[in-house]
Amino acid sequence: MKYLSHLVIILLAAAISMSCVAYRAHHPASPEAPGLKDYYRDYFPIGVAVSGYALHTDEAGLVTRQFNSITPENAMKMSVIHPGEQQYNWRDADSIAAFARRNGMKLRGHTLVWHNQAPKWIFKDANGQQVSKDVLLQRLKEHIMTVVKRYKGIVYAWDVANEVISDRKDEFYRNSLWYQICGEEYIEKAFQWAHEADPDALLFYNDYNEINTVKREKMIRMLNNLVSKGVPVHGVGLQAHWAVNEPSAEQLDKTMADFAKLGLKIQITEFDVSVYRKEHEMRSREAGDSAMEFTAVKEQQQLEQFRRCFESFRKYRDVLTGVTFWNISDRYSWLDNFPVRGRKDYPLLFDKELQPKKAFWAVVKF
């Protein structure tokens, strides 16, 4: 009897230790388990947008296990990093760059010129009047030179210009203050200065609504034009803020095929799949959606969309040189409260507890 109970204890201990081994090998939270970056090692780097703050929380472990590239979500945007004419704020950007260095990760720089999150001072003189084209270009040059040189050697790719093309059918360039004051010249100058500051960095044009035929044609027209003028542009960033119902497989394939023809590198730069439907690239309300949970139906729709997207990404591996998610886990996404206040979204591959969702497994099994 005594021997029998010993035997039971030994067998139990063996079973527990075997299941621990299995846990370590398969559970994505375990340090030895393969992460997204490992499944996609032979395809492209897998990145994620981060804040300096998140890298001081338990999300940091998830970031290093699953990803091999990071993009600062806000820390390198002009209003954050250059809040006053004589004032640079390096704190968060430096800490993100140090994190990338420490963990051997790639770092994407985001972004050098954008109509949003641009500081007010840059467009105004000491009397509060709008500055001239010469002054604005000089300020932009100083900004780009300073920021790009600081991160030379750690930032391998910059989103130089962000969203300069209009979404309106009757308008080519976005009618931003940059455009009103400088015309289109600021775009090519931004690429030239970034190249001067760091000749080794890959320079991207980044935009959204890339699945829309009219917008895509404009993006392609502008990029071809820049290339033909000898402007140093190396790639196009597709933001890929998509949803359960958009793009369709055909739309996505056409988008990738059209951009592939450019002869530039393509990166997916801000990927997420909202659980709320988009109609013609517009996000709208759904009945009762402010109380919406991540239901089994949404979970399945999202899984299918993630699977379709990664199938397409793998197909275009020759031109696709990176896939970056916009935010780490469903604990926080920029889509929470946007565009519907009080509405939570669940657009990523990890849940609020940082566990892989079913869609994770759909993306890594191929």
Q: Which residues bind ligand GLA (CB under 6 A)?
A: 110, 162, 208, 239, 270, 334
> Which residue number, 64 or 269, has a Cβ lying nearer to ligand GLA?
269
With DSSP H G I counted as helix, E B as strand and the rest as coil, what are the percentages for the chain, rounded to 5?
40, 20, 40
**Residue 270 annotated among the catalytic residues of the structure:** yes
From the candidates 59, 73, 210, 270, give the one annotated as an active-site residue: 270
Q: Nearest distance from residue 162's CB to ligand GLA, in Å? A: 5
**Per the structure block, which two tokens stand in for 202?**
């890959």
From the candidates 163, 188, 210, 246, give the one annotated as an active-site residue: 163
> Which residue number, 179 or 205, has a Cβ lying nearer to ligand GLA?
205
- Start-to-end CA distance of the chain, whole Å, equals 51
Closest by CA position to 207, among listed 217, 195, 219: 219
Answer for the pair 76, 109: CB distance below 8 angstroms, yes or no.
yes
Answer for the pair 238, 292: CB distance below 8 angstroms, yes or no.
no
Q: Nearest distance from residue 20's CB to ligand GLA, in Å? A: 40
Q: Nearest distance from residue 324's CB to ligand GLA, in Å? A: 11
Identify whether 247 is preceded by a cis peptide bond (ω within 30 of 0): yes
CB closest to ligand GLA, residue no: 334
Place of tokens 């954008």: 114
Q: Nearest distance from residue 117's CB to ligand GLA, in Å? A: 7
Answer for the pair 207, 161: CB distance below 8 angstroms, yes or no.
no
> Which residue number, 190 or 303, has a Cβ lying nearer to ligand GLA?
190
> Which residue number, 179 or 208, has a Cβ lying nearer to ligand GLA?
208
Dihedrals phi, psi of 98, to nearest 5 degrees: -65, -40
Active-site amino acid positions: 163, 270
